[in-house]
Amino acid sequence: MTYLDVLALSEEVERDSQSGKLSSELLAQGQTRYGKMADYPDHLVRTTPDGKKSLGHCKDGEFAEELCLLWIQTLSI
């Protein structure tokens, strides 16, 4: 039987989260990331894999975009 060291996993996730590695890996895998910003405490910030950052809120279980904060498109050369 294989055991999972939950404390070690928790510490790894915390390190990766603080360094930005976790966010980068999730976006690279095509995952959308949601979070908060101190400047906009009443809103969610959504970051999509294509680099678009949007400000919005949750409405009927979906993200309702109110403002596009930034869009960085990666070009292949």
Q: How many H helices and E strands in the chain?
A: 2, 4
| Domain regions of the chain by residue span | 1-31, 32-77
As averages over each run of 10 residues, the pLDDT of the chain (77 residues) reads: 87 85 80 88 91 92 89 52
- Residue 55: which residues within 8 A CB-CB, separation 6 or more? 37, 40, 43, 44, 45, 65, 66, 67, 68, 69
Q: What is the pLDDT of residue 77?
A: 44
pLDDT of residue 45: 93
